[in-house]
């Protein structure tokens, strides 16, 4: 009987919870003078974007601003206007220069914006100087991404990692009521403190910084403790000889949709940047019966804040511990090769020294209308540096991509797999490629399994390939290809021929 009211998946429940609280524009009573507020919550409403175009083409600069607008909308704000300035490098004082800062103030007044978002990471001095000119709240790209992470983190470990990254970002940027941060402590710091305690005492900003450092040290200890639990689970999967496949890629490239298409699970799917932060593992079964664990990781983005890479390093270790990487690329993006470059930059940060060398990079020439320079990518056979697992490049969203761009990508990356997680096109080919890679180090054996060891037959079907099966009076004769760990357990059951 067909279930007319199927139970909602975990992802659907999370999406409903995320959408249950909506912001209403125009109800804010926040003070207009930003210098009057000591600690301001990052609450975006009506924003103006500003960027500095220092390199690349005009189309790439425009694409960067479009991505910044998507980030701002994901954080819950309404984008009113955007400005790009062509400069050799950002102005060290106000990021965009004093003249452009004055023009930006006029745009803010004309649009009624209450926040300016800069497409780059600003120094504390630049933030302060620009705020004094435009007279509204100014944040940079790093603070914006941190705010999105804070909204979307759900697990205890994810919240701790985001809090640590926010504190690392906030520490050199503490601001307040002008002279108030220079207030010195009283009490024991006065004349009644006793020997060794008399003196000027700590200023308020020194006290705040000390408390932040203490909180950061506590968070690091908590994250190390959570890492132990994940390491135990990873060891259990390794002992069970179940291949681990990590899905990496640019944010909103369709990683969660792909894991749902391959496993039938209900992982949260949302058309938004950084919709999924916490790594999610789901068990899948290939056509030959082999079990595989797919792990959905946090998405990457151009200029991903270093604070996030450091804070999420323990989580991103799932990438280096995997048996295979699925590098997912949004084929409908205007500059897909830029996405590949950005992801490989973060992967090199995770990997450390190793990295991609000239020996394992595919030789190709990118079409001039697709990208100016070839990106750093793994070779077509999936080889990378010694510290990283093999990789399969997956071009997703082919149902939405321009056919001309897809043709160029097929020529540039002959070893890539082209799929659509939405329609299911190419999923079968991808699963076949996964089976080839995870099984290429398997050992082929002929074994006789006693009828009393049905558990071994079940494990062989789950962890390896069964090439042929026969029976005799002593047991089940099987020609199999199994992982080396399981092959060691079958040594006593091997038969000749």
d(C-alpha 478, C-alpha 494), whole Å: 10
The answer to whether 249 touches 299, Cβ cutoff 8 Å, is: yes
d(C-alpha 25, C-alpha 121), whole Å: 27
Task: Name the phi and psi angles at 247, rounded to 5.
Answer: -100, 115
Nearest-CA neighbor of 169 among 139, 148, 143?
Answer: 143
For 274, left (φ over 0), alpha (ψ -120 to 50), or beta?
left
Task: Name the phi and psi angles at 75, rounded to 5.
Answer: -75, -10
Buried b or exposed e, range 286-301, using 16+ CB within 10 angstroms: beeebbbbbbbbbbbb
- pLDDT, one tens digit per residue, over 235-277 is 766 666 678 888 888 888 888 888 888 887 766 666 667 766 6
DSSP letters spanning 198-251 = -SS--BHHHHHHHHHHHHHHHHHHHHHHHHHHHHHHHHHHHHTT--EEEEEEBT
Count CA within 13 A, CB hemisphere, residue 379: 14
d(C-alpha 477, C-alpha 89), whole Å: 71
The answer to whether 107 touches 48, Cβ cutoff 8 Å, is: yes
pLDDT at res. 267: 64
pLDDT at res. 198: 52
What residues in the chain have per-residue pLDDT under 70?
A: 1-6, 10-44, 175-203, 234, 236-241, 266-272, 275-278, 288, 314-315, 351-387, 497
pLDDT at res. 175: 64
pTM greater than 0.95 (yes/no): no
Residue whose token pair is 């091997």: 494
d(C-alpha 41, C-alpha 436), whole Å: 51
pLDDT at res. 419: 93
SS3 content of the chain, % helix, strand, coil (to 5): 45, 20, 40
pLDDT at res. 27: 46
pLDDT at res. 40: 41
């Amino acid at each position: 009987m067909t279930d007319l009211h199927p139970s909602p998946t975990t992802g659907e429940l999370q999406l409903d919870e995320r959408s249950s609280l909506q912001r209403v524009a125009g109800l804010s009573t926040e003070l207009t003078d930003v210098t009057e507020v000591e600690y301001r919550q990052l609450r975006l409403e009506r924003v103006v974007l500003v960027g500095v175009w220092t390199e690349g083409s005009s189309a790439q600069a425009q694409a960067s601003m479009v991505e910044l607008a998507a980030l701002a909308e994901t954080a819950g704000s309404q984008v009113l206007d955007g400005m790009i300035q062509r400069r050799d490098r950002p102005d060290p004082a106000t990021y965009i220069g004093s003249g452009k800062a004055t023009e930006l103030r006029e745009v803010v007044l004309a649009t009624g914006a209450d926040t300016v978002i800069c497409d780059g990471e600003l120094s504390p001095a630049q933030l302060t100087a620009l705020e004094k000119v435009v007279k509204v709240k100014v944040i940079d790209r790093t603070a914006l991404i941190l705010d999105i992470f804070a909204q979307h983190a759900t697990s205890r470990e994810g919240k701790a990692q985001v809090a640590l990254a926010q504190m690392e970002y906030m520490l050199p940027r503490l601001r307040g009521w002008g002279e108030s941060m220079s207030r010195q402590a009283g009490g024991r710091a006065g004349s009644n403190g006793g020997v060794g305690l008399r003196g000027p005492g700590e200023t308020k900003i020194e006290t705040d910084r000390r408390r932040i450092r203490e909180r950061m040290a506590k968070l690091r200890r908590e994250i190390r403790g959570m890492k132990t639990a994940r390491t135990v689970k990873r060891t259990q999967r390794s002992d069970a000889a179940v291949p681990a496949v990590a899905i990496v890629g640019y944010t909103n490239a369709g990683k969660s949709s792909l894991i749902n298409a391959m496993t039938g699970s209900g992982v949260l799917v949302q058309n938004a940047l950084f919709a999924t932060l916490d790594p999610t593992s789901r068990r899948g079964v290939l056509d030959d019966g082999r079990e595989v664990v797919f792990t959905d990781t946090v998405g990457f983005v151009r200029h991903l804040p270093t604070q996030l890479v450091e804070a999420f390093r323990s989580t991103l270790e799932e990438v280096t511990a995997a048996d295979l990487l699925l590098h997912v690329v949004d084929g409908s993006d205007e500059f897909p090769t830029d996405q590949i470059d950005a992801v490989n930059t973060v992967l090199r940060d995770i990997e450390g020294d190793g990295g991609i060398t000239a020996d394992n990079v595919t030789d190709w020439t990118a079409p001039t209308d697709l990208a100016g320079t070839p990106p750093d990518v793994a070779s077509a056979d999936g080889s990378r540096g010694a510290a990283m697992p093999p990789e399969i490049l997956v071009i997703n969203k082919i149902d939405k991509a321009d056919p001309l761009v897809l043709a160029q990508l097929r020529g540039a990356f002959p070893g890539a797999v082209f799929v659509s997680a939405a329609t299911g096109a190419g999923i079968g080919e991808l699963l076949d490629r996964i089976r080839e890679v995870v099984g290429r180090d398997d050992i082929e054996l002929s074994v006789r399994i006693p009828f009393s060891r049905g558990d071994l037959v079940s494990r062989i079907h789950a962890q390896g390939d069964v090439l042929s099966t026969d029976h005799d009076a002593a047991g089940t004769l099987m020609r199999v290809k199994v992982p080396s760990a399981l092959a060691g357990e079958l040594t006593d059951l091997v038969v000749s021929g």
